[in-house]
A and B are shown apart, each in its own frame.
Chain A
Amino acid sequence: MRRYFGRKLLIYGLTFFVAVTVNWMIPRFMPGDPVASMVARANVTRPEAVAAMQAYYNNLFGFDQPLWQQYLNFWAALFRGDFGLSIWLFPTPVADVITAAVPYTLGLIIPSVLLSWVVGNWFGAYAARRKLLDNTVLPIGYVLTATPYMWLAVLLAWGLGVLAGLFPVAGGYSFSLRPNWSWDFFLDLLHHWTLPFLSLFLVALGGWAIGMRNMIIYELESDYSTYLAALGAPARLIRRYAFRNAVLPQVTGLALQLGVIVAGALVTEIVFAYPGLGSLILNAIKNKDFFLLQGTFLFIVLGVLIANFIIDIVYVVVDPRTRAGMAGANA
């Protein structure tokens, strides 16, 4: 058990190291000079003033140091929880900008991932072996799962937002409201949350339902199901066993899909101008905001790694065979 988790942690640690390094590299090797654009924003024309401002900013952000020094500084700051100052929202610390955006992203991703997984699995299991459902609803699942997130998002925004006028198509809450703890604000939040949630939920739902349908048919035809049926066990018991075993690959699937879902959520946020991490990334790129970009990426990488680790633990709990595998590795 310890060896298994030790190995897992090592892999996660390595992934984190590589991710941080790549994360540090990307903005620095991206074309464009953020300091120049900041100075340009200040509308200063006197050359000596420009030079002084550039020197000040370069020093402030540490760009005057050699690259390797910048890299080491980056790691040191990381462990202090210091992501630097945002260039776009200068001088707000990146950590604050991210903290303000994270609740929106988590509020979107966690319910859509979990609900689509649970509902998709349940529905797929239900549709399997029911010819009518299998022939009508599952084809829709195929279409849904093949739909890109942002495309469905655009369709929903157009159909339910613009044409039907049922839902707002942009923002996390109405521009006329200030964030507060009132019931009105909460309802407004929920109203704005519905469309982005739906687009994420629907795309993922189709995939899980199809996966589950195929898995459960396989399990219902497996030897242990046939044996139970031969001993006259009721269909309820057989289906329960089949579902339990068919869910296992779906758990793995969830771990594999997590990165894709997060990426999809980010793009969806942009479509709906939802004030989460996705919109932050877009703004960070537009404003060549290294630090914000790095901070956001880092946060996403950490989130995905942690979620994967949780799934690893869940898997060990639900599948006795992985536990036996670990015992074998120890022996």
Chain B
Amino acid sequence: MSLQVSELRVHYRTLKGEVRALDGMSFELADGEILGLVGESGCGKSTLGKSLIRMDGRMHHVGGRVVLDGRELPIADDRKMNDFRFREVSLIPQYAMSALNPTRKIRRMVTELLRSRGTTVDAAELERRMNQVGLPREVLDRYPIELSGGMKQRMVMVISTLLDPSLLIADEVTSALDVSTQKAVARALLGFRDSGYVKSMIFVTHDLALTHHIADTIMVMYAGKLAEKASADVIVKAPRHPYTRLLLDSLPEVGVRYAERRLEGIAGSPPSLLDPPKGCRFRDRCPLAGDECAEEPPVVEIAPAHHVACWKA
């Protein structure tokens, strides 16, 4: 097991009180596995991604453990966590387009970053990896503003994985890209895994369709909790949680004309995590909700490697 997360709770401090963005998440990630993490906005998927590498000032760790390759990650301790960042856990951020210092040439920035981490740049290796994602070596002698958005994104991907981290968190990396570039990025990420630059990966996205292409396993989150986790094919073809089903139903299908049939969304909106309701958090929007749903459903492994948190599954 590469990554084990157990009962992880991370809250946000706000003026109104504690927002329970992660409320007892438990899951495991095997070596070489790519986990697609999906859910609607505000479900806690980005919070989970951030918690594993760097919590921002408003987040705080309330409980639970994260173990990576047998070592516990000190996620609450910003300083101690520095030893793990980049070397063991790395991040391709949501804002990859603006992640590079605009006033440094890329070669210099990479050199300075690596030197600050106590290593040196292996120029040949760097160029080989850039070549793998289709970046010419001249890019190193340019400023970030001289690159297109897609190039910056790929450059960030190369930089983030330069120290061969065990776990890579790709946070909404495809959200700002057009469809053809999305595919290239997804392929590059797969390539990184296959070349052994990263052992395992968490691919955070709201795009279920794209996740299906690159992830081995898909984990669906709802309101700070795990809803369903299974292999990508099972999630897409035989989902058991009503939320997953509705999520899939709300995707447009190629070739279907939506003039005759309205594309259904999921009615209602997720509960406030300031003071989440008791019982199943999806209850208010769930077409199947019954009396037992007033009690919180535990995560149950209903089939090998298929976890669902629903009484009706």
The residues of A with any CB-CB pair to B shorter than 8 Å are 222-224, 226-234, 236-237, 241, 244-245, 248, 318-321, 324
Asked if B102 and A224 make an inter-chain contact with CB atoms under 8 angstroms apart, the answer reads yes
Asked if A245 and B93 make an inter-chain contact with CB atoms under 8 angstroms apart, the answer reads no
- Tell yes or no: B301 within 8 A of A by CB: no
The residues of B with any CB-CB pair to A shorter than 8 Å are 53-54, 56, 81-87, 90-91, 93, 95, 98-105, 112-113, 116-117, 143, 145-146, 156, 159-160
For A245, list chain B residues within 8 Å (CB). 101-103
Asked if B143 and A321 make an inter-chain contact with CB atoms under 8 angstroms apart, the answer reads yes
The distance in angstroms between the C-alpha atoms of A229 and B55, with both chains bound, is 10
For B87, list chain A residues within 8 Å (CB). 232
Asked if B143 and A231 make an inter-chain contact with CB atoms under 8 angstroms apart, the answer reads no
- Chain A residue, CB-CB nearest to B104: A241
Q: Whole-angstrom distance from the CB of B117 to the nearest CB of chain A?
A: 6
- Chain B residue, CB-CB nearest to A248: B103
- Known contacts A229-B54, A232-B85: does B145 contact A324 (CB below 8 Å)? yes
- Known contacts A226-B93, A237-B112: does B102 contact A321 (CB below 8 Å)? yes
The distance in angstroms between the C-alpha atoms of A228 and B100, with both chains bound, is 9
Asked if B143 and A324 make an inter-chain contact with CB atoms under 8 angstroms apart, the answer reads yes
11 additional contacts (CB under 8 A) given A222-B98, A231-B90: A224-B98, A226-B56, A226-B95, A227-B156, A230-B53, A231-B86, A233-B116, A237-B112, A241-B101, A245-B101, A319-B103
Q: Which 4 A-B pairs have the closest CB atoms?
A: A232-B85, A227-B99, A223-B98, A223-B95
Asked if B83 and A231 make an inter-chain contact with CB atoms under 8 angstroms apart, the answer reads no
Return 15 A-B CB contacts under 8 Å, by A number.
A224-B98, A226-B93, A227-B100, A230-B54, A231-B85, A232-B81, A232-B83, A233-B116, A234-B116, A237-B113, A319-B103, A320-B105, A321-B102, A321-B143, A324-B143
The distance in angstroms between the C-alpha atoms of A228 and B102, with both chains bound, is 13
The distance in angstroms between the C-alpha atoms of A233 and B83, with both chains bound, is 10
Name the contact of B86 in the complex, choosing from A226, A232, A320, A321 (C-beta under 8 A).
A232
Asked if A227 and B93 make an inter-chain contact with CB atoms under 8 angstroms apart, the answer reads yes
Asked if A324 and B93 make an inter-chain contact with CB atoms under 8 angstroms apart, the answer reads no
Name the contact of A320 in the complex, choosing from B53, B84, B103 (C-beta under 8 A).
B103
Main secondary structure of the interface of B (DSSP, over half): loop
For A224, list chain B residues within 8 Å (CB). 98-102
- Chain A residue, CB-CB nearest to B113: A233
The distance in angstroms between the C-alpha atoms of A224 and B93, with both chains bound, is 10
Asked if B116 and A237 make an inter-chain contact with CB atoms under 8 angstroms apart, the answer reads yes
For A321, list chain B residues within 8 Å (CB). 102-103, 143, 145
For B53, list chain A residues within 8 Å (CB). 230
The distance in angstroms between the C-alpha atoms of A241 and B99, with both chains bound, is 12
For A226, list chain B residues within 8 Å (CB). 54, 56, 93, 95, 99
For B117, list chain A residues within 8 Å (CB). 231-233
For B113, list chain A residues within 8 Å (CB). 228, 231, 233, 237
- Chain B residue, CB-CB nearest to A245: B103
The distance in angstroms between the C-alpha atoms of A223 and B97, with both chains bound, is 9
For B95, list chain A residues within 8 Å (CB). 223, 226-227
For A241, list chain B residues within 8 Å (CB). 101, 103-104
For A234, list chain B residues within 8 Å (CB). 82, 116
The distance in angstroms between the C-alpha atoms of A232 and B85, with both chains bound, is 5
For A318, list chain B residues within 8 Å (CB). 103
Asked if B116 and A230 make an inter-chain contact with CB atoms under 8 angstroms apart, the answer reads no
Which has the most chain A C-beta neighbours within 10 Å: B82, B90, B95, B101?
B101
The distance in angstroms between the C-alpha atoms of A230 and B103, with both chains bound, is 19
Asked if B145 and A230 make an inter-chain contact with CB atoms under 8 angstroms apart, the answer reads no
- Chain A residue, CB-CB nearest to B116: A237
Q: Whole-angstrom distance from the CB of A154 to the nearest CB of chain B?
A: 42
For A231, list chain B residues within 8 Å (CB). 85-86, 90-91, 113, 117, 159-160
Q: Whole-angstrom distance from the CB of A282 to the nearest CB of chain B?
A: 44
Asked if A223 and B93 make an inter-chain contact with CB atoms under 8 angstroms apart, the answer reads yes
The distance in angstroms between the C-alpha atoms of A232 and B115, with both chains bound, is 12
The distance in angstroms between the C-alpha atoms of A236 and B156, with both chains bound, is 21
Asked if B99 and A223 make an inter-chain contact with CB atoms under 8 angstroms apart, the answer reads yes
The distance in angstroms between the C-alpha atoms of A276 and B81, with both chains bound, is 59
